[in-house]
Amino acid sequence: MQAELVTRSLGRAPARRPASPAGHRAASAVARRPQVVIIGAGFAGLNAALGLAGAPVDVTVIDSRNHHLFQPLLYQVATAGLSPAQIAMPIRRVLARQKNATVLMETAQAIDPATRTVTTCTRTLGYDYLVVATGARHAYFGHDEWERHAPGLKTIADATDIRARILTAFEKAEVARTAEERMRYLTFVVIGGGPTGVEMAGAIAELARKALVNDFRTIDPSTARIVLVEAGPRILPAFAEPLSRAARRQLEGLGVEVMTGVAVTDCRQDGVTLAGGTVIGSHCVMWGAGVMASPAAAWLGARADRAGRVVVEADLSLPGHPDLFVIGDTAHVPDGKGGQVPGVAPAAKQMGRHVARAIAARLAGRPAPAFRYRDFGALSTIGRKAAVADFGRLRLTGFPAWLMWGLVHLWFLVGFRNRVIVFLDWAWAYATFERGARLITGR
């Protein structure tokens, strides 16, 4: 999502009494209701919209994509386990029965807090309350040229691209003319030891050692080299230290080389260079090393932290703009324990629900409550029967953690149907070691 901050007069719709964005069907009946505009339908924005289902407002959700994405399972699309449609739902399907909600598949081009308007390609919408939930993208710390060679994982297109890269690497290895070329195609480098990197490395290792193992004639896919490179002292730094160690042990059990305390100094088409000069030859490098918030701070002229996140008030509103909220990965929110609320799905959902309550309170003439983050713990999967779970006092590893991970993710998958189909796919994969979506697509 791209936007620029413009100052423009209101155009068609006065700020206090904006035209209903719900269009001609709803226009006559509800034109006098307060207008809530939500930009972005990730976990934060979608939950804000759902939380306003019973409120006497008109909600307009703007997103440049037609679907809400269950990002925690995106790595399974990238590693051929699930199909895109299994972890994505049309936003308007989710909100179909919520009659006060309208969905526009458009890009927000400008926000003007002074006139309380949002401008898209086709219209200028007046708002009484604005919710900015535009998420984050991967960041290359000043090396944007690395993106071509080490793509990150945020969208379905990212995931199907990475899937094609991984599967193509095995195909190219099968027809490689030299041993050196073959090894380069059979080497996979994942940069960044957070949950995404750990999940990717584990899933590629399982793909190579299990799902593909009988399918080739020249190469032995199980000889593939999978390297996880983390610049910090340990992987999964958000977890307790013993769990980091357990995760590392489980990854190594799958045959992943885990390198910690090693920074990447260059990414090229044929490999990466590490601090110290070591070169790892690879035609398949993936990036999970960092994210940067969408540039909402620039659109809003607001103060941001180093990761680009907008610094917000206790109720998640923008300082000086009690009618404008910034939530999800775009917001910098203290967690009350000296740290910050992490950029994870449960936190985004809680912020979305909070904003819905805050708007309802304001409408009722009450002050908006302060946001309080409830930390339900952290889960990360590594592979078959391998995961770590950190619930503060309760820490799990191995099979119990993996089972819990599976149940939690199934539970939170939007839509009953997707839950059933994903469960069947997982059950099938568990029984057969196969992967259901080994497709190389694209032109």
Q: What is the DSSP string of 267-316?
A: EETTEEEETTS-EEE-SEEEE-S-EEE-THHHHHT--B-TTSPEE--TTS
434 binds a second copy (CB under 8 A): yes
The least distance separating a second copy from the CB of residue 218, rounded to whole angstroms, comes to 3
CB 34 within 8 A of CB 52: no
Phi, psi of 162 (to 5 degrees): -65, -40
Size of interface with a second copy, in residues (CB under 8 A):
58
Contact mark string toward a second copy, 48..67, x via CB under 8 A: -----------------xxx
Q: Which of 106, 147, 174, 199 is catalytic?
A: 199
421 binds a second copy (CB under 8 A): yes
Q: Binding of a second copy at residue 437 (CB under 8 A)?
A: yes
Q: Does residue 221 contact residue 284 with C-beta atoms inside 8 Å? A: no
Is 157 among the residues that bind a second copy (CB under 8 A)? yes
103 to 122, contacts with a second copy by CB under 8 A?
A: 103-106, 120-122
Shortest Cβ distance from residue 122 to a second copy (Å)? 5
- Going by C-alpha positions, the residue among 345, 41, 375 that lies closest to residue 196 is 345
199 is known as an active-site residue: yes
Q: Is the dihedral of CA 227, 233, 238, 239 positive or negative?
A: positive
In this chain, which stretch among 222-230, 244-252, 324-332, 424-432 interacts with a second copy, using CB under 8 A? Answer: 424-432
Residue burial 94-115, b: 16+ Cβ < 10 Å; e: rest: bbeebebbbbbbbebbbbbbeb
Q: What DSSP string describes 64-91?
A: SSSEEE-GGGHHHHHTTSS-GGGGEEEH
Binding track over 208-247 against a second copy, x by CB under 8 A: ------xxxxx-----------------------------
Instruction: Label residues 382-391 b or e (16+ Cβ within 10 Å = b).
Output: bbbebbbbbe
**Cβ closer to a second copy: 135 or 193?**
135
* Binding segment (CB under 8 A) for a second copy, from list 34-42, 45-53, 173-181, 263-271: 173-181
Instruction: Identify the residue among 9, 28, 32, 97 touching a second copy (CB under 8 A).
Output: 97
| Binding segment toward a second copy, per CB under 8 A, in 185-193, 384-392, 394-402, 427-435 | 427-435
Kindly state the smallest distance separating residue 65's Cβ from a second copy, in Å. Answer: 7
- Determine if 173 is a binding residue for a second copy (CB under 8 A): no
Contact present, 243 and 397 (Cβ < 8 Å)? yes
DSSP-assigned beta bridge partners for residue 139? none
C-beta separation of 328 from 348 below 8 A: yes
The radius of gyration of the chain's CA atoms, rounded to the nearest angstrom, is 23
Q: At what angle do helices 241-253 and 195-206 cross, to 10 degrees?
A: 20
Backbone angles phi, psi at 356, to 5 degrees: -60, -45
177 vs 306, which CB is nearer to a second copy? 177
Residue type, 192: G
Question: Which C-beta is closer to a second copy: that of 75 or that of 325?
Answer: 75
User: Exposed/middle/buried for 58, CB within 10 Å: 0-12, 13-18, 19+?
Assistant: buried
Structure tokens at 358: 């805050």
- The interface with a second copy within residues 8-27 (CB under 8 A) comprises 22-26
Interstrand relation of 187-191 and 225-230 (parallel, antiparallel or unpaired) = parallel
Asked if 320 interacts with a second copy (CB under 8 A), we say no
Encoded one letter per residue, x for contact with a second copy by CB under 8 A and - for no contact, window 321-360 reads ----------------------------------------
Binding to a second copy by residue 178, rule CB under 8 A?
Answer: no
The residue (of 23 and 367) whose beta carbon lies closer to a second copy is 23
d(CA 214, CA 345): 37
- Nearest to a second copy of 157, 314 (CB atom): 157
Asked if 80 and 166 touch (Cβ cutoff 8 Å), the reply is: yes
| Residue 97 vs 393, nearer CB to a second copy | 97
Which segment (80-88, 296-304, 319-327, 370-378) binds a second copy by CB under 8 A? Answer: 80-88
Report the nearest approach of a second copy to the CB of residue 156 (Å): 5
Output the smallest distance, CB 216 to a second copy, in A: 7
Per-residue tokens: 131: 């919710």
Residue with the two structure tokens 């004639």: 217
- For the bound state, the minimum distance from the C-beta of residue 221 to a second copy, rounded and expressed in Å, comes to 11
Interacting residues toward a second copy by CB under 8 A? 22-26, 65-67, 83-86, 88, 90, 92-93, 96-97, 102-106, 120-123, 156-157, 160, 167-168, 171, 174-177, 214-218, 417, 420-421, 424-425, 428, 432, 434, 436-443
Known catalytic residues? 199
